[in-house]
A = this chain, B = another copy of it.
Amino acid sequence: MKNQITNAISDFFFEYETPRQVLVRNRRVGVVCRIIQLGVLAYIIGWVFIYEKGYQSTDIAVGSVFTKMKGVGYSSMNGTERIWDVADYVFPSQGDASFVVMTNYIITEGQKMGKCPELHGKHNCSSSADCEGGSFKRQMTGECVNETKTCQVLAWCPVEDDLVIPDPPMLMSAENYTLFIKNSVTFPLFGVSRSNLVEGIDAGYISKCLYHPESAPLCPIFRLGDIVKQSGFNFETIATVGGAIGIVVDWTCNFDVAVTHCKPKYTFHGLYGNPAETDKARASVGYNFRYAKHYMEDKIQKRTLLKVFGIRFDIIVQSLARKFDIIPTLTAIGSGVGIFGVATVVCDLVLLYLLPKRAFYKNMKFKYTDTHTQK
């Protein structure tokens, strides 16, 4: 018994099985099959390996973004000059990846809680009967104000008049503001961290550079007017009614070469409200929100309401890193061999069913285990 097992093992190790093959000497079949096989090989090496880099595994990054605006705005309304600095025109102030730069506004000063008539054009009435029933949009008192012919509401009074949007925008000077972006990304699978302040982008360079797609593609300081222009918007239009722009930081990296070649690429595109687009965009042009500054005056709580029109910037980090990995390499090779097998099957079909001498080749290829008549 033990002897038998030893024999079986030694047989297993000292034997080697290789398939017996028919070597068909036929020009037509030979050329067709070799071309199919070379085609498969070319596909595997050329397409899967070289073009699609099938020997690499991929990873996307986790990252964080910090932004900082610079520049001072200037507005002049009814002879009152006003300066707008970063603390006034950026929302929120702490430098998030998504923020709004105010470019236009409707200001309603000195609002306090009380009862006052609605804006002309909204909730018109001829008598108190028209003002019954509280809408969820406004808290009506049920009275009709004679002077304005509109319903009286309980609200922050006086109510905001936003029927006319200032045009040209109050803060055209926003065009010259600059935006500084700091972005760090980590590819967890490959254990690589990168910052958009890559090699060569030092404090000296940053202090004087300005992003330009060709001449300074790595400078992380952007002029607002340039961003808007490259997104396909007209600055005055977007500054008047507001809009949203995505700044895509694209990290497409190949870690089989030096990590210093992994550099960000900046692109800009409108997110919503691009007037050049079709209906769906027009459905929702502009960007605005309301913001209040509260204060006490003569023991009464008051607020200054700002309807802010502005450009909303979303810094979107997009990443795809690739690196050599043994698993996809061998999977590609292994399935390539499988495709080779398909090529052989195709050639066999030609050989056994299409050639004039097919009966001869069939006989060569197959050996039959019984004495049935050969078809």
Could you list which residues of chain A lie within 8 angstroms of chain B, going by C-beta atoms? 12-27, 29-31, 33-34, 43, 47-48, 52, 54, 62-64, 66, 68, 70-72, 74, 81-83, 85-88, 91-100, 113, 136-139, 154-156, 173, 176-177, 182, 184, 188, 195, 197-199, 201-203, 205-206, 244, 246, 248, 250, 271-272, 279-284, 287, 289-297, 299, 301-305, 308, 312, 314, 316-318, 320, 326-327, 330-342, 344, 347-348, 351, 360-361, 364-370, 372
**Nearest CB in chain B to that of A27: its residue:** B14
Q: Which of B71, B317, B331 touches A332 (beta carbons < 8 Å)?
A: B331
CB distance from A206 to the nearest CB of B (A): 6
Question: Can you list the 3 inter-chain pairs with the closest CB atoms, starting with the nearest?
Answer: A334-B335, A334-B338, A337-B338
Q: Which of B326, B342, B351 touches A18 (beta carbons < 8 Å)?
A: B351
Given contacts A25-B15, A93-B289, are A74 and B335 in contact (CB under 8 A)? no
Give Cα distance in the complex from A248 to B93, angstroms.
24
What are 16 of the A-B contact pairs (CB < 8 Å)? A16-B23, A16-B29, A17-B366, A20-B21, A20-B364, A20-B366, A24-B369, A54-B327, A62-B248, A62-B317, A66-B244, A66-B272, A87-B290, A87-B291, A188-B250, A360-B369
CB distance from A319 to the nearest CB of B (A): 9
* B15–A23 CB distance below 8 A: yes
- A24, A64, A82, A326: most-surrounded residue (chain B CB, <10 A): A64
**Nearest CB in chain B to that of A317: its residue:** B62
* A22–B366 CB distance below 8 A: yes
Given contacts A16-B30, A87-B305, are A206 and B62 in contact (CB under 8 A)? no
**Nearest CB in chain B to that of A60: its residue:** B60
Residues in chain B near residue A314, CB distance under 8 A: 64
* A333–B342 CB distance below 8 A: yes
CB distance from A65 to the nearest CB of B (A): 9
Residues in chain B near residue A34, CB distance under 8 A: 12-13, 16
Give Cα distance in the complex from A279 to B54, angstroms.
36
Residues in chain B near residue A289, CB distance under 8 A: 68, 86, 93-95
**Nearest CB in chain B to that of A137: its residue:** B72
Q: Which of B12, B26, B197 touches A284 (beta carbons < 8 Å)?
A: B197
Given contacts A92-B94, A327-B48, A337-B341, are A25 and B284 in contact (CB under 8 A)? no
Give Cα distance in the complex from A248 to B26, angstroms.
64
* A155–B85 CB distance below 8 A: yes
Residues in chain B near residue A139, CB distance under 8 A: 72, 74, 83
**Nearest CB in chain B to that of A110: its residue:** B296
Give Cα distance in the complex from A205 to B361, angstroms.
71
Residues in chain B near residue A98, CB distance under 8 A: 64, 96-97
CB distance from A152 to the nearest CB of B (A): 13
Residues in chain B near residue A344, CB distance under 8 A: 18
* B21–A15 CB distance below 8 A: no
* B338–A292 CB distance below 8 A: no
